[in-house]
Structure 1
Amino acid sequence: MDTSPAPARGPSPDATRAGNALRTGGPTSETDGHTPETDDTDTDSAGPSRASRRRRTVLLLLALTAVTSATALVAGLLSWAPDPPTPARPLTVTEAERLAAMRVTNLRDLRAGVHVTAGAGASRTDLVGWVDWSRPLLYLDVGGPGAGAERGLLQSAGPVLVTRPDPAAVPTPAAPPLVPPADRWRLHRLTPGAGLAPVLDLLLGLAADRPDPSPAMDGGDARWVARDVVAAGPVDVLQAPLPAVTPPTPARAATAGTAATGPDGSTRYWLDRDGRLHKLVTRLPGVGPVTVLLNRIDRPTLRPVDALGGRPGLPRALTDAEQRRLDRLPARLRGQGGATLTLTAPVGTDTNLRGAGWLSWAARTAYVAVADLGVPDRRTLLHRDAAGLSRTDVPAEAGGGGAAETPGRPPFPVPAGSWRPTRAPRDDLDLLVDAAVAAAGPVAQRGAAVRVREDLVAGRTVDVVEFRPGDARLRYWIDRDGSLRRVELHTGPGAWAQVDLSPAVVPRLGPPPRATPPSGAPRR
């Protein structure tokens, strides 16, 4: 008997059709729906026609939407008008207080970077650098097509202005070097109300130790104009007259308190929420339009040049070691015998003297050839001895030669000439040379001394010691070996004149031949 299992049978055709119908939701018999051949034919013919119609409908709707949007946009552009500007209005109480305290805020912040444009067109002058309101001190590079003879570096400390002319500098100024050059600085006279004088007075006058009177808030000249954004952030643009500025000297009083105006008749200030000034636009008589840009984060410590006294330092009493060096100075100088000297003396209103020569502390004499930068073809020979001071004027070639900036030493032996003797010093030049010789004299004549700072000269570390004999104001630069390296005198214009000393063997400096005065002339 065959006991092998019966072969498995697949589902019957009817069952297969029934399962397919359940999965597809289609008919359950051949008579209830189309045959497979009939379904394939419908898909190939009717399907593409319906899809094409749908695509055409969608494209038509998109085109209609685009045309409608474009029409609305054009209509909107044709009918658009900008919002009217916010009209100027009187200052609020807060705005008035910020404006009144602006100069105090500047003084509190001490310093700022500045970029000034003064004038327009071919007469425009650009100034780039820094202002230190705490001293006060300006340190600027002057350029632009209208700079003229003032092109170069500039430092101004209150009433004193010194420049370092550089006619070959590029017209576009750049920030000056933080450590200023040591040479070629000269006293410069500003004409009141002309040139850079009004601009410099404006910059220094932007600081005060007390608030200004509060601007009128109702019907006055002070107005809020607009809001703006500068590199430091949002600001308010305020319109008000310039505050009254006290001039640094009576000679420049004509430049102070002048009515300065902006584009609409008054100065405009760009002030932030803390009352810090970032920009100022005004007009100055004799200058024209002036724009001042302040960089409130560019605040390096500035170093005045030697003609302005150098670094201020922290004056204090002398230590015991410093006092001993000062007390032993006269004996040490007499032991050294003498020194060669170079002289740099900004004196008068715009007189800049340069000199070279010898000094003998042992014989208490000095002999110097002096050139005035304003008169380069002439030399003044100055002789100082126990009898007093004498001068004579000679041509440059007979007075040591050399350029006026670096004159040579005086002719030796001392030539005959029309020497003009005087018993007492009569000007700053006489005082400076006399003070260098008198450094080897009695200590009691100096007065109380203070140490101003430590400094460097000729590569040597020195203590700068200041004292005031009589009405004079002198500084000795004494190195750590006890040698005198420089003598400084505070001159009448407020600048500092220097005699630099280098110990050396000097010739015997005999007295100048005295010319016999004419008959009847008084003898000295």
Structure 2
Amino acid sequence: MESSSQPPSDNRRHRAAYRRHRAGIVPPAALNLAVTEPATRPPQSRPGIRRAVVSGGLLDLAAGNRAEEEDLAGAATEADDTRRAADRRRRLTLTGLALTAVISAVMLVATLVTWAPDGPPPRELTTGERERLAAMRVTNYRELRAGLHITAGDGATRTDLLGWVDWARGLTYLDVGGPGAGPMRGLVQATPTVLVIRPDPTAAPTPAVPPLVPPPGGWRLPAGRGIDPLLGLIFALAADRPDKVDGWVGRWVGRERLNGEPVDVLEVSTAGSGASASRAPDANAGSPARYWLDQAGRLHRVEADLAGIGSVTVALNRADRPTLRPVEALGGRPGLPRALTAAERDRWRRLPARLRSVGGARATLTVPASAATNLRGSGWLSWASGTAYLSVTDLDTAGRRTLVRHRDRKVTRIDGTATSDATARPPLPPPKAGWRAGPHRTEALDPLVAAALRAARPTGVPGNAERVRGDTLAGATVDVVQVDTARGPLRYWVDRGGMLRRLELSTRAGAWAQLDLDPGRVPPLTRPPAKR
């Protein structure tokens, strides 16, 4: 009856536990089916059945096999080290491949930028190319002007020049800079025969485009003429007639693109190429010059080697061609000489009387006499007494001042001390003693002062007068009247009131000296006689 009172599920659990026990599996303690027998009791064995000896660890599902775990742990550590080494090698390989790709890309871009297809090899000039070279200089002359960017020398001796050239009028106007500019740093104007500079030691090393209206003062003849070969090369690039075709000997060396136009690069030997191709002065014998010419025979660039300068590159900007105005030291604006009109002749005839009626004027002198003599002076001039009294300084002799007096057609001087003001007026009253006659370094101004005093003589100015141009001076409109003399052309600047405002004389160096006059009252220019 007791067995029937137990739930059927308990019997099933006991039977399942018994089956697990018979299979060698330890039943859970919850079932109260402990199978551990006392050690003193020998195991019962059934006939024909062999029991397998199983270690306790296999029967403990949570414990596992210690030896196997140690082997597996060692194997896992070794595998991790191998995997990490493999990962490191893979990262290094990928990094190397990436660097290789970057370097290859950079080299490819640089090659594409600088690469140019191989053109035809150099060859002898063709007839058409020689014809373009022969017409090059007359083409420049007919186009009148061009912008210039010149590089002369290299390194610490490099000189950079920026400005323009007017081939038709024979004038170049440049700003000079660069580390090798030296005393030439500043502005330069030059004709084929005369060079004047306006030094500016404080100018920036890099040249700038010169002002279209040149500064009015400060121009002088330079002590050195180191850029003469360079100026000669520039002026030699133009002529009023074509050259001989067979005078050009050289070769075609390539084709480029300059200023948006395709050009041929023609290399011409200066030796044996005829007078036209070797007109650049002081060119190194046998040194070839290269010309960049377009199909119309217009020059865009020149490279040459000049003695005393070195390599020179002249780049032309044919679209930059303003009208240039020469400074007064080069004669000022060119004009169209013509005969005087009736009104101009009347003013010219009345000029002596007009000067005597005014009596005198304050005078300012600028005389670029030579490379070693650049005079500046100021003082007074009296037409009433025929006397001039001036203080003159030579810029090339440490500013030493000389007092100069013109009286009774005689010139005397007193050498004074140095002065820092080249425009300072002479002391008043004039010194009584110490005057000396004879040759002097300031005598280049004497013809100009003497001509100004002669202009007041009743006989008038001798010679044939013609009007060169109109101009302005100190706000006054003037007629520039030129008279040829034995010493060269002499120019009188006469305003519309018949007053002489300036006198200009061409010096032996080819430059122009100026004596500016401001009419008005002047002090006594001679010491009054002593009272008895």
CA contact (8 A) 2:158 2:181 kept: yes
Give the letter aligned to residue 184 of structure 2. E
The answer on 1:336 being equivalent to 2:353 is no
Q: Which residue of 1 aligns with 2:507?
A: 491
Distance, in Å, in 2 between the alignment partners of 1:189 and 1:426 is 17
Q: CA deviation at 1:503?
A: 1.1
Q: Which residue of 1 aligns with 2:524?
A: 508
Change in CA separation of 1:84 and 1:172 when aligned onto 2, cut-off 3 Å: same
Q: CA deviation at 1:160?
A: 1.0
Q: Which residue of 2 aligns with 1:230?
A: 258
Change in CA separation of 1:402 and 1:167 when aligned onto 2, cut-off 3 Å: closer
CA contact (8 A) 1:245 1:256 kept: no
CA contact (8 A) 2:402 2:416 kept: yes
Distance, in Å, in 1 between the alignment partners of 2:308 and 2:203 is 25
Could you say what secondary structure the match of 2:449 adopts? helix
Q: How does 1:135-146 map to 2 (within 5 A)?
A: 135-146=169-180
Higher CA-based Rg: 2
Could you say what secondary structure the match of 1:184 adopts? coil
Residue-by-residue CA offset, 1:123-145 (whole Å, 9 max, x unaligned): 11000000111121110000111
The answer on 1:259 being equivalent to 2:287 is no
Q: CA deviation at 1:211?
A: 2.5
Query: Alignment partner for residue 498 of structure 2, among 466, 482, 488?
Result: 482
TM-score normalised to the size of structure 2? 0.73
Change in CA separation of 1:216 and 1:163 when aligned onto 2, cut-off 3 Å: closer
Could you say what secondary structure the match of 2:148 adopts? strand
Q: Which residue of 1 aligns with 2:39?
A: none
CA contact (8 A) 1:337 1:361 kept: yes
Could you say what secondary structure the match of 1:477 adopts? strand
Query: Alignment partner for residue 273 of structure 1, among 292, 295, 299?
Result: 295
Distance, in Å, in 1 between the alignment partners of 2:351 and 2:269 is 57
Q: CA deviation at 1:241?
A: 2.6
Q: CA deviation at 1:445?
A: 4.2
Distance, in Å, in 2 between the alignment partners of 1:199 and 1:363 is 50
Which one is further off, 426-435 or 93-102?
426-435
Could you say what secondary structure the match of 1:332 adopts? helix
CA contact (8 A) 1:197 1:255 kept: no
Distance, in Å, in 1 between the alignment partners of 2:169 and 2:459 is 32
Distance, in Å, in 1 between the alignment partners of 2:439 and 2:305 is 53
Distance, in Å, in 2 between the alignment partners of 1:98 and 1:327 is 55
The answer on 1:322 being equivalent to 2:344 is yes
Give the letter aligned to residue 139 of structure 1. Y
Query: Alignment partner for residue 317 of structure 2, among 290, 295, 302?
Result: 295
Change in CA separation of 1:468 and 1:163 when aligned onto 2, cut-off 3 Å: same
CA contact (8 A) 1:368 1:410 kept: yes
Which one is further off, 423-432 or 141-150?
423-432
User: Gaps spanning 5+ residues in structure 2: where?
Assistant: 1-104
CA contact (8 A) 1:388 1:423 kept: no
Change in CA separation of 1:270 and 1:83 when aligned onto 2, cut-off 3 Å: closer
Change in CA separation of 1:227 and 1:439 when aligned onto 2, cut-off 3 Å: same
CA contact (8 A) 1:216 1:222 kept: no
CA contact (8 A) 2:236 2:279 kept: no
Q: CA deviation at 1:214?
A: 2.3
The answer on 1:366 being equivalent to 2:388 is yes
Give the letter aligned to residue 270 of structure 1. W
Q: CA deviation at 1:216?
A: 6.6
Change in CA separation of 1:135 and 1:427 when aligned onto 2, cut-off 3 Å: farther
Could you say what secondary structure the match of 2:488 adopts? coil
Q: How does 1:71-82 map to 2 (within 5 A)?
A: none
Distance, in Å, in 1 between the alignment partners of 2:360 and 2:202 is 40
Could you say what secondary structure the match of 1:473 adopts? strand
Change in CA separation of 1:215 and 1:174 when aligned onto 2, cut-off 3 Å: farther
Q: How does 1:132-171 map to 2 (within 5 A)?
A: 132-171=166-205
Q: How does 1:372-391 map to 2 (within 5 A)?
A: 372-391=394-413
Query: Alignment partner for residue 403 of structure 1, among 421, 432, 436?
Result: 421
Change in CA separation of 1:482 and 1:123 when aligned onto 2, cut-off 3 Å: same
Q: Which residue of 2 aligns with 1:15?
A: none
Q: CA deviation at 1:402?
A: 4.6
Change in CA separation of 1:254 and 1:236 when aligned onto 2, cut-off 3 Å: closer
Following superposition, which runs of at least 4 residues in structure 1 exceed 6 angstroms of deviation?
Answer: 243-246, 423-426
Distance, in Å, in 2 between the alignment partners of 1:363 and 1:161 is 38
Distance, in Å, in 1 between the alignment partners of 2:235 and 2:347 is 40
CA contact (8 A) 2:478 2:493 kept: yes
Please provide the CA RMSD for this pair: 2.8
Change in CA separation of 1:122 and 1:257 when aligned onto 2, cut-off 3 Å: closer
Q: CA deviation at 1:427?
A: 4.2
CA contact (8 A) 1:383 1:390 kept: yes
Q: CA deviation at 1:206?
A: 1.0
CA contact (8 A) 2:378 2:390 kept: yes
Q: CA deviation at 1:188?
A: 1.4
Distance, in Å, in 2 between the alignment partners of 1:362 and 1:347 is 29
CA contact (8 A) 1:391 1:420 kept: yes
Change in CA separation of 1:151 and 1:387 when aligned onto 2, cut-off 3 Å: closer
Q: Which residue of 1 aligns with 2:220?
A: 186
Give the letter aligned to residue 202 of structure 1. L
Q: Which residue of 2 aligns with 1:241?
A: 269
The answer on 1:210 being equivalent to 2:226 is no
Q: CA deviation at 1:425?
A: 13
Q: Which residue of 2 aligns with 1:467?
A: 483
Q: CA deviation at 1:186?
A: 0.9
CA contact (8 A) 2:185 2:199 kept: yes
Query: Alignment partner for residue 119 of structure 1, among 150, 153, 164?
Result: 153
Residue-by-residue CA offset, 1:137-183 (whole Å, 9 max, x unaligned): 11000011111111100000121111111111111111101100001
Give the letter aligned to residue 107 of structure 1. Y
Give the letter aligned to residue 513 of structure 2. A
Change in CA separation of 1:377 and 1:90 when aligned onto 2, cut-off 3 Å: closer
What percentage of aligned pairs have identical amino acids?
A: 55
Q: CA deviation at 1:327?
A: 0.5
The answer on 1:428 being equivalent to 2:444 is yes
Q: Which residue of 1 aligns with 2:379?
A: 357
CA contact (8 A) 2:349 2:460 kept: no
Q: Which residue of 2 aligns with 1:57?
A: none
Q: CA deviation at 1:439?
A: 1.2
Q: How does 1:301-320 map to 2 (within 5 A)?
A: 301-320=323-342
Q: CA deviation at 1:360?
A: 0.4
Change in CA separation of 1:392 and 1:82 when aligned onto 2, cut-off 3 Å: closer
Could you say what secondary structure the match of 2:428 adopts? coil
Residue-by-residue CA offset, 1:412-436 (whole Å, 9 max, x unaligned): 2221444222599994311011111
Give the letter aligned to residue 429 of structure 2. P
Distance, in Å, in 2 between the alignment partners of 1:240 and 1:254 is 13
Which one is further off, 407-416 or 478-487?
407-416
TM-score normalised to the size of structure 1? 0.74
Q: Which residue of 2 aligns with 1:59?
A: none
Change in CA separation of 1:296 and 1:107 when aligned onto 2, cut-off 3 Å: same
Residue-by-residue CA offset, 1:352-389 (whole Å, 9 max, x unaligned): 11000000001111000000111234111111111411
